[in-house]
Amino acid sequence: MTPICLVGIGKIATDQHVPAINASPDWDLAATVSRTGTIDGVQAFTDFDQMLAETDIPVISLCLPPVPRYAYAAKAIAAGRHVMLEKPPGATLAEVHALADMARAAGVTLFTTWHSRMAPGVAPAKAWLADKQVTGVQITWKEDVRRWHPGQDWVFAPAGMGVFDPGINALSIITEILPMPIHLQAAELLFPSNCDTPIAAQMRWTENVIAEFDWRQEGPQSWDITVQTDAGGISLHDGGSRLVIDGAPQDVGPEREYPALYDRMADLVKDGVSDVDIGPMIHVADAMALGQRVTGEAFYL
């Protein structure tokens, strides 16, 4: 088993990363770095530089918010460590390009993870769509920010991404399953008057692809993608965990998004290669650049 260090012990780390690592035959959770969080039985550091200096742990998984992630990743790469990045892989496109160049020069693995691509319905949806002519796509991604990010004000700060924090999961799926490229044509972004990032967005791409993102949905949450083709329709529900083809539910197997990410990281390190994909981030950047800004009432977590 390969030792790995998990940096940023927050909700996503404890809910997803720690169970995935602990259940894997490839990884040994050897250390954590966090100002406040710890994992029972695991060596805990509060300073990243100290961890790099005092251990030779070869792989670092970064679960920090996007803004500080570049500095941590750059230090890890400079120290010869392989790096796994939570989504989104950075605060800007340029810094992810820079990290890819650093990793290449250092001869280490860099993996920009997109966990929703590992949802069990995604691969079979991609296979089914591969030889189809897509005629339209509708994306509905609506959830309750207060349920999933309680007290995490950084999501509405600059580079926090706002509704694109969950919405980029939908973008990671469509950039994986669609058999043709698309680019954004129009967007409307709703910004609360006291926030620097949007709480809702409506978007339209080429190839008749439309999306509605909203972070204010209470009750049942909506993570749905419907694709019409010249040979029938297909839809993904619950973030890609359920697949329906022409009205018939498909057996796609168990949910194991984060375990699959760590399986992939083990293969990448073994093969000495990187996997850096910024496709979903490009659509977010385009929405921010092209979108019409609408200001709404203040919103508080």
pLDDT tens for 245-259 read 999 999 999 999 999
What average pLDDT score do residues 82-88 get?
A: 97
End-to-end CA gap in the chain:
41
Q: What percent helix, strand, coil does the chain show, rounded to 5? A: 40, 30, 35
Q: What percent of the chain has pLDDT over 70?
A: 100
Nearest 10 degrees: Cα torsion 229, 231, 237, 243: -150
Q: Is the pLDDT of residue 291 over 90?
A: yes
Residue 141: CB atoms within 10 A of its CB come to 26
Q: Which residues of 146-156 are buried (b: 16+ CB within 10 A; e: fewer)?
A: eeebeebebbb
**Backbone CA torsion sign across 232, 237, 239, 243:** negative
- Confidence band, pLDDT 50/70/90 cuts, at residue 11: confident
Domain architecture of the chain: domains with CATH? 2-112 (3.40.50.720), 117-253+284-296 (3.30.360.10)
Give the pLDDT of residue 226: 98
| Residue 140 tokens, joined | 């509905």
Reply yes or no on whether 87 is catalytic: yes
Q: Per the residue annotation, which of 75, 87, 126, 270 is the catalytic one?
A: 87
Token pair 């290669």 is at which residue? 273
Q: Is the pTM of this model over 0.85?
A: yes
pLDDT tens for 59-75 read 999 999 899 999 999 99
41 phi-psi bin (left φ>0, alpha ψ -120 to 50, beta other)? left
| Residue 120 tokens, joined | 């069990």
Give the pLDDT of residue 261: 98
Give the pLDDT of residue 195: 97
Q: Is the pLDDT of residue 2 over 90?
A: yes
Q: Is the pLDDT of residue 228 over 90?
A: yes
Q: Is the pLDDT of residue 107 over 90?
A: yes
Q: Is the pLDDT of residue 1 over 90?
A: yes
Q: What mean pLDDT, rounded, does the chain reach? A: 97
Give the pLDDT of residue 133: 97
Q: What percent of the chain has pLDDT over 90?
A: 96
Instruction: Give 218's contacts (C-beta < 8 A, 6+ positions apart).
Output: 144
Q: Is the pLDDT of residue 277 over 90?
A: yes
